[in-house]
Amino acid sequence: MIITGKYPQLRLRRNRQHNWSRRLVRENTLSVNDLIQPIFLIEGKNKKVPVKSMPDISRYSVDSLTQIVDKCVSNKIPMIALFPFTNPKFKNNLGTESLNEDNLVCRAIQLVKKKYKNSIGIMCDVALDPYTSHGHDGILNNNEILNDETVNLLIKQSLLQAQMGCDVIAPSDMMDGRIGKIRKALDEKNFKNVQILSYAVKYASNFYGPFRDAVGSKKILKGDKKSYQMDYSNRLEALREVALDIKEGADMVMIKPGMPYLDIIRDIKENFKLPVMAYQVSGEYSIISYAIKKKLINEESIIEILNSFKRAGANAVVTYFANHVAKILK
C-alpha cells in the first residue's frame, strides 16, 4: 500500500474526531442480515431446557420452537440453523434416526415452514453425530470412520430434509466427495433450488465442547475426530477443501470455528470470491458469555468480535448471540 502525504499535513485522526465522521468512513458494517441463529431441539412437550455449559441458551421441544423463532422473525434474522438432542434410545452405530421422517429436525422444519412460510430460511445440519451411539459424524467400523458408506447415508438424510422443506442443506461431516453426490441426488429429485452450504473447512478444534453437551454427544464420543476434521495447524489445506467443494456444487462455504481462524476466512474470500460463512462456535460463545458475566469484558465486545468476521471477509456468521445482537443493532 502506498500512502501519500506526511505529517503534519496528513493527520489520520481528523476522520476519527466525531461520531458522524467515523460512521461516514467506516469500512465494514454489521447488520441483522449477517446473522444466523442456531437452535437446539429436544423431545417432549412444552419444554425449554437450559444448556448448562452455554449461558442463556436452551433446547426447545418442537411445540415450543415458536418462542425463539418468533424472536428471530421479529428481529429480521434471515436464517435459523437446527440441531437435535436425540433421545439416546433412538441412537445406534449407523445413526439411522437421521432418516426417520418423524425425527426432531423433520418435525421442526415442517412447523417452521407451516407457520412462517418463507419469512425466514431454514438451515439443516447434515451429519450423523447427533444420531450415533458413538458420537462420530460417520459410520464407525473397527475404529475407522467409513467415508463412502457414510456419504450414502448423508445423501438420504439430505433428501429427507429437502423433502420436509429445508432451504439450505449444510453438510458438516467432512467426508470426502459428499457435496457432489448430495448435489447430484438433490437435482435428480427436483430439489435443484435447495442450496448447499458446505462446512468445507471444519477444524478438529477444542472449542466444540459445549455444543457436544447441547446435542448429547460429548459423553459418548469414542476417541477424537482428527481423521476427518482438519488439523488446526494447516492453512493451505483449507484452500484445497474449498476448491473441491466448489467444483462439486457448493453454493456457500463455512469456516468453523470462527475467531481462531480469521486468516482462513480472509484466504477463502480472497481466493474464491464466493459467499463465506463463519461459525462462532459454542466454546467461543461460552468464553465470551462467562467473561461478560464476570465483568472481565463489556457487552460491546460481542459486536467487536462479530465485526472481526466481517472485516476478514465473512458474509454472515452463525452465532448464538444472533437474537441478542439483532436487538442491539435495532
Active-site positions?
Answer: 202, 256
Residue 2: what residue type? Answer: I
Nearest to 78 by CA among 116, 31, 35, 124: 35
Is-contact 281 205, C-beta < 8 A? yes
Distance CA 314, CA 97 (A): 33
Nearest to 128 by CA among 105, 102, 162: 105
126 pairs with which residues across the strands? Answer: 171
Is-contact 283 207, C-beta < 8 A? yes
Residues whose CB falls within 8 Å of the CB of residue 87, separated by 6 or more in sequence, listed in order: 43
Is-contact 260 205, C-beta < 8 A? yes
